[in-house]
Structure 1
Amino acid sequence: MSRVVLVTGSSTGGIGYALCEEFAKKGCKVYATARNISKIADFPESLPVQVEKLELDVNNDESIAKALAYVEEKEGRLDVLVNNAGVTAPGPLIEVPIELVKDVYETNVFAILRLCRAAVPLMNKHNSGNIINIGSIVGEMYVSSPTSPFTRIYSPHLTPSHPPPSPVPWSGVYASSKAAVYMLSEILSMELSPFNITVTHIAPGAIKSNIAANCASRITLSPTSLYERYAPFIQKRVDSSQGPNAMDTREFARRVVGNAMRRRPGRYLTLGGSARMFSVLKWLPRGFVLWMMWRMFSPRK
C-alpha cells in the first residue's frame, strides 16, 4: 500500500515543494499544502502519482482540522506528516518587533504542536506513522561535550543535560525557534513511541531555496537603530544560506525522503552546506565559537 503524505509549506521554490515531488516519485499519495495554494505550481504530469494541492493555514486550528478531515475522508489514513512551514525575522534581538517574534514562534513552533495534535489520532488508528520536523542546523549546533577538557576549562557552567544552542548573530529569533523544534522533536519521539509513531528531526544547513528572498523583506532596522552600521552584515547573514556551497534542493529532498521510506526512519538527519563546519564547531571552546561567529558577521573595529 502506498503511503499517504502531507507536507506543510509547499510553495514553489522551497524545500517543501521538492519534498512533495520526491515523495510522489516514490509512489506516495502526497498532499501539498500552503495557506495560499495559488503559490504552489502544478507538479509534473510525469510523476507516477499526482500530487494534490490543499489549502492549509498552519496557524489556524479550523483550517488544520478541515484539511486532515479531507485527507481522512479521501485516504482513510495518514502515514507521514512533514512539518516544513517556517518563517524567519532577521535582525538584532533587541530591535526585532515583538509581533514578528510572535509570528515566527507561531509558525515555527506552535504550528508543529497544532499539526501533531490533529494528525496523531489519525495515525494512531493504524498504529503507525512518521512525523518529520524540519528544524535547522542553527537550532542544534552544540559545542563541546560538557565532559570534555575544553568545556571544563572554558565553559564550566555547562552540564550534560544543558547543551548550548547555536550562537549565530542576527538570527536569534529564528535560531531559538528552531532550537525549540529540536527539543519538541526529541520529546515527541519518546511520547509517541507507545503508538508506533516515529519522529524525525531534520537539521538543514544551507539549502538552495527562496528563503533569502522571503526573509530579506522582513529585515527591520529603524532609522535610529543602534545597529545601522551592521546592516550589511545582517544582509550577509541572510544571504549566507544561498551561497555556492548550498545543497541542491532536489538532493536534499532525495535524502530526506530516502530516510522516511525506510522501515524504521532515523531520528536525526543533518545535511546541507556548512553542515560539516557546524559539526566541527561543537568540539571547540564556547568562547572561541562565539568570537568566531561574531567576527564572521560584524565589521572589523
Structure 2
Amino acid sequence: MMGTMRYDGKIAVVTGASGGIGGSVAEALHERGAHVVLAARSVDKLNDFAEKLGSRAMAVALDVADEHSVARAFEEIEARFGRVDLLVNNAGFGRFELVADAPADSFESMMNVNYFGTVRCTRAVLPGMLSRREGWIVNVASIAGKTATAKSAGYAATKHAVLGFTNALRQELHGTGIRVMAVNPGPVRTAFFDIADPEGGYVNGVKSMMVTPERVARETLAGLDRGRAEVNVPGWLGAAARLSQALPIGLVNAFSARFLKLK
C-alpha cells in the first residue's frame, strides 16, 4: 500500500498518550482527521490535551499493566465508537541498571508494562479487527530491542519481546487485512529519561544522536502511508543494528565495551 492513508473518520487509540512519542503521534493522527482516543493511567493531563485537540479527541484512563483496566477502557471505547481502526501500543518505561544491582521487581514491572501491556491491548482489539478484516496495529519497540547495551538488560529484554511478538503477529495476520508495524526509536528527547537516567549521564553521552518525538511521529505516519512492516528512527541506527547482528559477536562485544558504555 503506497501513497497517503486516509484517516478521516478512523478511530485511533494511542496508549501512553500524555506526552512524548504517544502525544506527538496522537496529535499527528488528529491533524490527519482521525478520532483519537488518548489513553494513559491518569486522565488529568489527558483531559487538557483532549480539550486542546478538540472534539475528535477523547481521554480514557487505561493502565496497560492491569488486565481489568484494559478491558474496561476498550469496552468504553467500543461503546463510544463501535470499533478501533488503529491501535498504537506506545506505553512503556525503562530503567538503566546493572543486572547485579537491579531488584527483581524492576525486571518484572518493565516486562509487565512494556511487553504484556502491548499483548493485552492487542488482544483487546483483535477480535473486532478480525471480524471486519481490516485494521492497523503499531507497536512502539526500540532500537534497544535489536541491539542491547550495558545497563539496559531489563529494558532491552522487554523490547526484544515486543519485536518478537510483533513479527510473529504479522505472520499470523497475513492475508486478514490487518497490518502490523513496529517502530524502533533510538534515544528520543522525552520524559522517559527522568526515570531511566535520572543522573543525566546517558543523555549527555547521546545528545548528538537524539531525535524529537515529533520526528518519530512523522516517520510513524510515513511508515503507515507506505505500508511498512518496520520503521527505525533514525534510519542509520537501524542499519547499525543490522550490521551488528551480521558481525561476529566477539567483535561486537569488543566495540560495545569500548564505545557504547554511555549509561
Q: Is the 1:21–1:43 Cα contact (8 Å) retained in structure 2?
A: no
Q: Note closer, same or farther for the CA distance 1:287–1:49 as it changes in structure 2 (3 Å cut).
A: farther
Hey, which bits of structure 1, 4+ residues long, moved more than 6 A? Answer: none
AA aligned opposite 2:169: L
**Equivalent-residue separation in structure 1 for 2:164 and 2:145 (angstroms):** 10
Q: Deviations over 1:190-249 (max 9, x none)?
A: 1123532111111111222111113235xxxxxxxxxxxxxx8xx5336545x1331221
Q: Is the 1:24–1:49 Cα contact (8 Å) retained in structure 2?
A: no
AA aligned opposite 1:138: A
Note if 1:209 corresponds to 2:190: yes
**Equivalent-residue separation in structure 2 for 1:206 and 1:286 (angstroms):** 23
**Structure 2: gaps (5+ residues):** 1-7
**Equivalent-residue separation in structure 2 for 1:240 and 1:133 (angstroms):** 27
Q: Deviations over 1:107-155 (max 9, x none)?
A: 1111111111111112223211111111111111xxxxxxxxxxxxxxx
SS in 1 for 2:48: coil
**Equivalent-residue separation in structure 1 for 2:188 and 2:21 (angstroms):** 8
Aligned to 2:42: 36
Residues 211-230 of structure 1 mapped to structure 2, 5 A cutoff: 211-217=192-198
**Equivalent-residue separation in structure 1 for 2:32 and 2:175 (angstroms):** 28
AA aligned opposite 1:179: H
- Greater fraction of residues in helix: 2
SS in 2 for 1:270: strand
Aligned to 1:251: 215
1:62 to 43, 63, 68: 68
Note if 1:6 corresponds to 2:9: no
Q: Note closer, same or farther for the CA distance 1:40–1:48 as it changes in structure 2 (3 Å cut).
A: closer
Aligned to 2:161: 180
Q: Note closer, same or farther for the CA distance 1:25–1:3 as it changes in structure 2 (3 Å cut).
A: same
Q: What is the RMSD of the two structures over their aligned residues, measured on CA atoms?
A: 2.4
Deviation at 1:11, TM superposition (A): 1.9
2:250 to 287, 296, 299: 287
Q: Note closer, same or farther for the CA distance 1:260–1:42 as it changes in structure 2 (3 Å cut).
A: farther
AA aligned opposite 1:82: V
Residues 165-176 of structure 1 mapped to structure 2, 5 A cutoff: 166-176=147-157
Q: Is the 2:182–2:231 Cα contact (8 Å) retained in structure 1?
A: yes
**Equivalent-residue separation in structure 2 for 1:206 and 1:298 (angstroms):** 14
**Equivalent-residue separation in structure 2 for 1:122 and 1:93 (angstroms):** 40
Residues 37-186 of structure 1 mapped to structure 2, 5 A cutoff: 37-40=43-46, 42-43=48-49, 47=53, 50-140=56-146, 166-186=147-167
